[in-house]
Amino acid sequence: MSSVTLDSISKTYGSQTIIPPLSLNIKTGEFLSLLGPSGCGKTTLIRMIAGLETPTEGKVIIGEETVFDSSSQLFVPPERRNLGMVFQSYALWPHLTVFENIAFPLRCRKVPTAEIELQVETALEQVQLAGMGKRKPNELSGGQQQRVALARALVARPKVLLLDEPLSNLDTNLREEMCEQIAKLKGQFPMTMIYVTHDQNEAVRLSDRIAILNKGKIEQLGTVQEMRTSPKTEFV
């Protein structure tokens, strides 16, 4: 697992500034939530960490490795950052079985077949989908599909796990169930987790610390207790 450091990163589209210069340090092994309303920049921020968006300025450092530096035009592509990511839309390949969806990152790394089988079966058990490896995504419920996406993100043992609104497409009961699943996995896997959400209940339940975003800026960074007892702004 690794720390993540954002050093004065910003993002502009033409004349529009989405994220003004922002610095943030996520500690090794920490569960940090980026909490804020739609359009506040939280998804843009996590996509810049992942390498799916290129910052306009600044640095992104994962562990001891700088993966983006605007001053030297350094850009490490997403597949070389050793990150796992779970998307809001699940992003499963419909033509592949559950097993093959989860195995994909391991095949990309040319992991031996026997090891792939063991790791995928273990991942299926960890997300409570044992025995479902031969099914296609369209044979699963929304909650089960999101568990497949979670297993795929975890199977390669990434240094950092990024979760972008992973529960927002689920109904209330499934959201509660998946929140419990993520809380359980948080205890099982020693890794840094960054979680994007607009739901303060999810953030409060899961996080070690929360960064509250508003219009691309961090209004406050701290623990749940600090937010409750010492809010720094009216927005918080």
β 57-62/65-69 pair status: antiparallel
For the chain, give percent helix, strand, coil, nearest 5: 35, 30, 35
User: Comparing C-alpha atoms, which of 101, 99, 82 is closest to residue 90?
Assistant: 101
Over residues 170-213, the pLDDT tens digits come to 777 778 877 887 888 777 777 899 999 998 988 998 999 999 99
Over residues 10-67, the pLDDT tens digits come to 999 988 999 999 999 999 999 999 999 988 999 999 999 999 999 999 999 999 999 9
Alpha-carbon distance 11 to 92, whole Å? 28
What's the confidence (pLDDT) of residue 97?
95
Can you give the pTM of this predicted structure?
Answer: 0.89
pLDDT at 1 over 70: no
Residue percentage of the chain with pLDDT more than 70: 100
How high is the mean pLDDT of the chain?
90
Structural domain boundaries in the chain: 1-78+194-236
Residue at token pair 């921020």: 45
Phi and psi dihedrals of 140, rounded to 5?
A: -110, 155
b vs e for 196-224, b when ≥16 Cβ sit within 10 Å of the residue's Cβ? bbbeeebbeebbebbbbbbebebbbbbeb
CATH number for region 1-78+194-236: 3.40.50.300
